[in-house]
A and B are shown apart, each in its own frame.
Chain A
Amino acid sequence: MSSLSILIVASLLLFCFISVLVGIWRLRWAYAVALAGMALALVAAGTGFYRVLADGELRYFLGGWPPPFGIEYVLDHLSAFMVVIIVFIGLIAVIYPPEAGLYHTPRRGISAYGLVLLLIAGLVGVVVTGDLFNLFVFLEIYSLASYALITMGGDKAVVASFRYLILGTIAGSFYLLGVGFIYFSTGTLNMADAARLLTPLYGSPTIMAAVALIVVGMGIKMALFPLHVWLPDAHSYAPPVVAAILAAIQIEVAAYVIVRMMLTIFQPQYFIDIMPITTIIGWVAAAGIIFGSVMAIAQKDFKRMLAYSTVAQVAYIGLGIGLANQLGMIGALLHILNHAFMKSCLFLVAGGIRYQTGLHKISQFAGLGRKMPLMMSAFTVAALSMVGIPPTAGFFSKWYLVLGGIEANNWVFVAVILASSLLTAVYFFRMIEKLFATPSGGDPAVEQAREPSARILTPIIILAIGIIVLGLINALIVSYVLQPVVALLP
């Protein structure tokens, strides 16, 4: 028994309310409160992670009601891993100064940071809960917070947010319907209990329908091609900090739900053999990797390019799940971590460029590399990691995915992973070339550009250093955190 898991969620919710209230009085203080809340959550998440590694699973019964009657919160290797990523990226996003990160903050004293904390609380909640319905509640909490946050990107963002709201609600309903079917069949909502009760029901068409609904719903949430249509607009019009959170951790949480379904609530065999879910996810993801990469090449706007890149990158995670073996799943989970660092770094760079120069089109960036050497070096590290150049983190996700592909004898997937490295190289090196090798065309915005302030640079540099460190220590993460998670897989 440990209350750490609920403590993270509860403290985030508490600080969310304090931040809103304080914001009415003094807007600047809302920022400080949010920072304090995230820092506290990170300490709790780190402690939880450490204790899970040392002692194994931590469980907490809400209100003292033991499962299956009460709601249970579980911190195991998988959820502790996810929580640390979510809270760390959340903290980085909150550190990033609001003037660069949230450019349409509403006036009249309402703090956007309340919403950011609510979003993070929802994401953490989805990951730590051991209850199927409670998961839906947190799913809606984070979704609602993200709809509101996206609208802060301006007029176009409102439309994008509305589209996302429609599709997001459909996705949520699919999930709820699926959970309803499971509840009708088993009479329980507790994950561990459901896992036990579901085994004899594997032949049941109701359960099959439930799984299909849940997977499709989560496919929408994680923007798995061809269910990605809401993502490019939402992520490119959202303010940089919001886009960083959405791309780096929010959609990955939907991937987490699929992994949790596959590994904990069902036996992996159900997703592999009884229903061909991993096969479908794998092939759809392979198509998504190519589609997202090609579309990213076609984009002229930096953030929009990043958004399509997210479609491709999240498909890597799907591909790893689809490989249905240990190495593939390790690749997928490692890529959740690596992509969180890379993509948030890139979106924060986009915010920094926009704040310093007002520019957002790649063609306008010529010569910026010499004006902002530190920020653009960080960008280069993140870009090289996206391409998969060792020893950056991105290389190692590909390494495990390729190993998994060879083990599964799936040469098409191997070819897709490798080809996508080259496509990614096209759109990132195009930008590196613009930044460093193309003389500026005399654009005053570029000529007067300066390196951003330390407050903008610090989170970006931390992420860039993190990308290299994660690459070098990936063996530790894989051996101590991920291998226990995937042990059930063939």
Chain B
Amino acid sequence: METVYSLKPLLAVLVSLVAVAFIVIPNQRPNVRESWTILAALAKFALVASMLPLILQGKSPAITLFAISPGISLALRVDYLGIIFGLSASFLWILTSFFSMGYVRSIPEHKQTRYFASFAICLSATMGIAFAANLFTLVIFYEILTIATYPLVIHRETPGAIFGGRKYLVYLLTGGVFLLFALALTYQLSGTVDFQAGGILPALTAKSSVIMLFTLFLLSFGVKSAIMPMHSWLPTAMVAPTPVSALLHAVAVVKAGVFGFARAIGFIIGPSMLHESGASGFLAALTAATILVASLIALRQDNLKARLAYSTVGHLSYIVLGLTLFSPSAWIGALLHIVNHAMMKITLFFCAGAIHVKTHCENVSQLNGIGRQMPLTMAAFAIASVGLAGIPPVNGFISKWYLVQGSYDAGQIVFVVILLLSGLLNAGYFFSIVVRAFFAPSDKFTRFDEASKLMIVPLVITAVLSLLMGIFPDRIPYFFQLASSAAQSVFGGGGL
């Protein structure tokens, strides 16, 4: 890709950080405070979206700020991969902001200023991760994201929330420590940390070094991507308010881990070198096991958010599995699944939030007949469930199709079987909720009574988008083209 100088990546990162200063102004009315969030979210999405035409022309907006260590710069560069993550996260932040407003006011939550301020910092960090031009920059934003999410996890300040926060920190900071090690080892092995499609390790790197580096990436990015056995922070962190779970634990934080894998495999180690070292097989097996085990655990969860959390664990491993396979199709599937899963899972979390606000039900067993009271919510829930099970015409089918094809191309029939089996399990744990909601008799939920519009409109939008992206995979907004270009650049060697 041709690099063009642009201020936009920096502005996209900074806009929400600037908004924090306005959000924390004391003694302002909640409406004014939330308008800063909304403004920042819209501005951020507009900035990211405005870079899309350039990217589609094969040009890469970039900006180098200053040296952060001799020979390493703090630098941002937007490529195919980065814009996929950036677009989806910034778009979903807009919807989540509206949803959050409805949510925190209906509950009502305390310390809302801290809540919205932390959220804005998290989004800045997410953009920084998406647009980082080198591993050092990525690590800085990755750690900022870890820390900025902590206040949101402990937001309720109950003993459960504090326990969740501790567990979150133990897992995530341990991952961060391994990431620092991986960063230093990358620098020592290749003398640079700049991302380059196809990898930057010198051709003569010892196999043992490659395996060690990959293991370190696994131990660091694997935590945020919730690969078993490093996943258990994620279900515990579900004590956070639902919009936090929706955006951070389905889109930003966990996808930052997955995105880190994409950078590490495609842009640091390089798929061919990784494949030759044989280390990827271990991770592929681990993710395959995670997919099955997480799905089985999800089947047994009665708490709705816990079920969604384990489903997230499983789907994150879909993506990582795709990235480890030596096949462009698998990469396309994985990258598409970053977006598709985000869209579907955020719908489900929005639904869970709406149900919680309206009925205070948190368990699946309490949801008999809720479809009569909240038909829109449960319809959206049904669409997203169909998608996550990988059934057309919802977008989950498209990404799964490529993942299956990629597994086949890579000669790994066993993963084809696992992906199909996981689809059945997904159907099992999601459809049971849908069936319960619409067909089970109930005397509790009889009247039509949806949550406030601030909450319903976002979840309808994401559900409809999931459907549209399934029917027209390349119309909105070129995700298929971006994903295949990214995969081509990684496998084409040396970059397009």
Do the beta carbons of A418 and B70 come within 8 Å of each other? no
**How far is A479 from B70 in the complex, measured between Cα atoms in Å?**
7
**How far is A437 from B140 in the complex, measured between Cα atoms in Å?**
25
Q: From the candidates A390, A439, A474, A476, name the one contacting B144 in the complex (CB within 8 A).
A: A390
> In the complex, how many residue pairs between chain A and chain B have their CB atoms under 8 Å apart?
81
**How far is A156 from B157 in the complex, measured between Cα atoms in Å?**
38
Do the beta carbons of B173 and A387 come within 8 Å of each other? yes
B211 within 8 A of A: no
Do the beta carbons of A406 and B177 come within 8 Å of each other? no
**How far is A316 from B154 in the complex, measured between Cα atoms in Å?**
32
Do the beta carbons of B165 and A437 come within 8 Å of each other? yes
Chain A residue, CB-CB nearest to B189: A406
Do the beta carbons of B140 and A390 come within 8 Å of each other? yes
B169 within 8 A of A: yes
Chain A residue, CB-CB nearest to B155: A437
- B161 CB contacts on chain A under 8 angstroms: 437
**How far is A406 from B181 in the complex, measured between Cα atoms in Å?**
9
**How far is A399 from B169 in the complex, measured between Cα atoms in Å?**
20
A478 within 8 A of B: yes
Q: From the candidates B67, B68, B170, B184, name the one contacting A406 in the complex (CB within 8 A).
A: B184
Total B residues in contact with A, Cβ cutoff 8 Å: 33
A438 within 8 A of B: yes
- B162 CB contacts on chain A under 8 angstroms: 433, 437-438
Report B60-97 CB contacts with A as 1/0, cut-off 8 Å: 00000011111010000000000000000000000000
**How far is A402 from B183 in the complex, measured between Cα atoms in Å?**
10
- B217 CB contacts on chain A under 8 angstroms: none
Report A412-436 CB contacts with B as 1/0, cut-off 8 Å: 0010001101100100010001001
**How far is A407 from B185 in the complex, measured between Cα atoms in Å?**
9
**How far is A384 from B151 in the complex, measured between Cα atoms in Å?**
14
Do the beta carbons of A402 and B181 come within 8 Å of each other? yes
Total A residues in contact with B, Cβ cutoff 8 Å: 34
A396 within 8 A of B: yes
Q: Which of A139-171 contact B (CB under 8 A)?
A: none
- B187 CB contacts on chain A under 8 angstroms: 403
Q: How far is the CB of A437 from chain B (nearest CB, A)?
A: 5
Q: Knowing A389-B143, A418-B180, A425-B173 touch, does A439 contact B157 (C-beta < 8 A)?
A: yes
Do the beta carbons of A422 and B180 come within 8 Å of each other? no
Q: How far is the CB of B201 from chain A (nearest CB, A)?
A: 15
Q: How far is the CB of A454 from chain B (nearest CB, A)?
A: 17
Q: Knowing A402-B180, A425-B173 touch, does A475 contact B143 (C-beta < 8 A)?
A: no
Report A246-282 CB contacts with B as 1/0, cut-off 8 Å: 0000000000000000000000000000000000000
**How far is A395 from B178 in the complex, measured between Cα atoms in Å?**
13
Q: How far is the CB of B220 from chain A (nearest CB, A)?
A: 11
A46 within 8 A of B: no
Do the beta carbons of B69 and A478 come within 8 Å of each other? yes
Binding site for A on B (CB under 8 A): 66-70, 72, 139-140, 143-144, 146-147, 151, 154, 157, 161-162, 165-166, 169-170, 173-174, 176-178, 180-181, 183-185, 187-188
Beyond the given A407-B188, A418-B181, A472-B68, could you list 4 further A-B residue pairs with CB under 8 A, ordered by the A residue number?
A390-B144, A414-B181, A437-B161, A478-B69
14 A–B contacts, CB within 8 A, in A order? A389-B143, A390-B143, A390-B144, A403-B187, A406-B184, A414-B181, A414-B184, A418-B178, A425-B169, A433-B165, A437-B157, A474-B68, A475-B66, A478-B70
User: 3 closest Cβ contacts across the A-B interface?
Assistant: A475-B67, A390-B140, A402-B184
